[in-house]
Structure 1
């Protein structure tokens, strides 16, 4: 497990963070570390770095029916636990910060909709949300819960299998060739979770909406992200380039460390409620 700063160092850096944030308009960028305390695993956190995880690749999903079958077979098993995850104290603190007028908006790299469940309103989901599926042929968007029902009916007993949840909302299971994939109900085309896979570009409109939040802020606060993926790192690099302070709250090192005015090494669920309380006092 990665080492974190000693408590006295965290205390000093937290005071520095509060001094930076107090009285400022704050844009927030969150990553998987904001949801690990809700039971959703990540790819690059202190625990998952110890074992390899292979994320779904966009080109492979698009080109290979076997890859799509593998994904949906695993997703049926993992979905119930993923969908049942609840917001943690970090999500709720960020929602309260927005309600009290402290935020210009919240940009998330997560696909779990936990910020919405916690009460956040002004959210840009950079990578989409697993709560929806999209047809690769006609573009129809439909609820993931409805697809779960159809997949369970087509594959009796499959969802009852036991496996470890994976970051994509699927599960660590070998589907074999027995799993039956169901098509789009509109045109019978192939279905894809309505998220941005690795190797797939973030829609331009989402990037522009996220930049508008950063542009309206005095400070960019990054919570629970290693910033390894460019879709989020671009905002840190851009803010720092124009002299806009960047603050990081994360367990372990991040790609954005060289750009940070303040870095706090700690868990979002443990520290964000304290940040909320002290900024509101």
Structure 2
């Protein structure tokens, strides 16, 4: 029997309580050398929901696993129908105050890097450079047979042509870009193959049950080694893909600070967890540091 990956986490130990004191975050950033690790909670103010928490999408939705996607043509049809609709919402999303604050920290030389668990491209749209997309990005598509990578907008055009009039109303959109549709709404949605070899196309993201590429993991570990501190923004740290970097920083005696509304799996490794909305919290920090938040928000991929 194939086991599904762990998708939720409930605190089972006494964890340090959250605080509203932003001074430790301000102090760490003012010293520079900060590595950012961001999660879905940073993008909720852009209209992209979180997986976890009281209103998280996991309460109604189980994300597609790599095993199901590769093994079952019906699962792929459901996924691409739902993802095709969800992509329209992602394409309209704009960076919020939290993304713009992170970009401002980078412009002022306070960061050594940004690692994001998000697949929405909003850090880059806000102006952050050198972002490591731990779980990939929805704006790229890869062929599982020949390895060809292509822009998501090209696939979206092909799917539009193959499915004229496909305009169902989704019950919700999830952080992986998957819209909530019934089987009846999916209907006989047509999936298109790779334009090079007719192979199976997959979004260039790490599905649940799929491993993050080892070279990417090692690059992130090197970023942790080079940083003076780690600042976690909007991640519950439920899955090991992000938690391992928190554990590494703690083992290397580097300060770990977390800004997240709810308790996280990394709280026991952290100096503090600030339980405030990210946009307003990070804006307050920029003001305390005297850093202007410049630039206009742009859409992912917009130049």
TM-score (structure 1 length as normaliser): 0.93
**Which structure features the higher share of helix residues?**
1
Structure 2 residue 54 is the aligned partner of structure 1 residue 46: yes
1:29 aligns with 2:37: yes
1:97 and 1:197 map into 2 onto residues whose CA distance is 30
RMSD over aligned Cα, in angstroms?
1.6
* Equivalent-residue separation in structure 2 for 1:192 and 1:179 (angstroms): 16
- 5 Å-filtered alignment, 1:151-170, equals 151-158=159-166, 160-163=167-170, 164-170=172-178
Equivalenced residues, count: 272
1:49 & 1:264 partners in 2: Cα distance? 23
> How far apart, CA to CA, are the structure 2 residues paired with 1:182 and 1:45?
35
Q: Are the aligned partners of 1:46 and 1:252 in contact in 2 as well (CA < 8 Å)?
A: no
Mind listing any 5+ residue stretches in structure 2 that lack a counterpart?
1-16, 292-303
Mapped pair 1:15 → 2:34: no
- C-alpha distance in structure 2 between counterparts of 1:192 and 1:258, whole Å: 37
Task: Report the counterpart of residue 181 of structure 1 in structure 2.
Answer: 191
Distance 1:189 1:100 in 2: 45
Q: 2:69 aligns with which of 54, 61, 69?
A: 61
1:191 to 181, 201, 215: 201
- Aligned CA distance change for structure 1 residues 50 and 180 (closer, same or farther; 3 Å): closer
1:262 aligns with 2:272: yes
Quick one: distance in 2 between partners of 1:95 and 1:24?
Answer: 14
Alignment partner, residue 3 of structure 2: none
Tell me if structure 2 keeps the 8 A contact 1:74–1:173: yes
Aligned to 2:215: 205
Shift of 1:246: 0.2
Q: Which residue of 2 aligns with 1:172?
A: 180
Cα separation, 1, equivalents of 2:240 and 2:34? 21
In the alignment, is residue 132 of structure 1 matched against residue 144 of structure 2?
no
What TM-score does the superposition give when structure 2 sets the normalisation length? 0.86
SS at match of 1:22: helix
1:213-262 deviation per Cα after TM superposition (whole angstroms, max 9, x unaligned): 22221110000000001110000011111211100000111001101111
Stretches (4+) displaced over 4 A: none
1-side partners of 2:174 and 2:131: how far apart?
24
- Does the alignment pair 1:75 with 2:83? yes
**Structure 1: gaps of 5 or more residues:** none
Residue 108 of structure 1 is matched in structure 2 by 116
